Amino acid sequence: TPWIYSLYENSMQATWRSGSGSLNFSSSEDNPDGFVGKTDYGYINPGVRAVSMLETRPQMTSHGWVEGLYPEILLPENVHLRSYIGFKKGADASDGVTFHIFVHEGNTYSQVAVQKLFPRQYKKVDINLSPWAGKKIQLILKVSAGNHSKSDLAVWVNPRLDNFQGKK
């Protein structure tokens, strides 16, 4: 049976925070404590059109971070986490960010993906979550800054969980 859970559509149900504490969803991109928001249509560097963009920016400090903890879900079989990751168009002054994906089950946190990207780079993400099939989990999407967080507007394009087979 086809199954999909949109991390984009459900992003307002996640608990967002940074090194300075809790973050309100869709706060200002210029908030020094960090930022998280949604854009239905836009562009990622280097000018690639994108839909369902979850925008995040770490706290404005050296090695700042921002993360979202999603509500607990029961994971069906054969589920993958899929997205593209990169920078919002115009975020050229960044010294790079690191994208992290964690699975939280019980008292265990497992990092299932880590990827450092620099401006004008983007990458496909496809993580097999089959080890957690039939289990209740929470997902954490995190972005951490380098030495500075200037222009670190990192995006997750159409982030979702699905059990679709074949190329996606």
The number of residues making up the chain comes to: 168
Which residues in the chain land under pLDDT 50?
168
pLDDT recorded at residue 165: 78
Rounded Cα distance between 67 and 64, Å, is: 11
pLDDT recorded at residue 25: 86
Predicted structure pTM score: 0.95
Q: Phi and psi at residue 158, in whole multiples of 5°?
A: 45, 55
pLDDT recorded at residue 77: 95
Those residues with Cβ within 8 angstroms of residue 52's Cβ, 6 or more apart along the chain or in another chain:
6, 8, 9, 38, 40, 157, 158, 159
CA angle 26, 30, 34 (to 5 degrees): 65
pLDDT recorded at residue 150: 79
Domains of the chain in start order, with CATH, are 4-162 (2.60.120.200)
pLDDT recorded at residue 27: 66
Q: Phi and psi at residue 11, in whole multiples of 5°?
A: -65, -25
pLDDT recorded at residue 154: 97
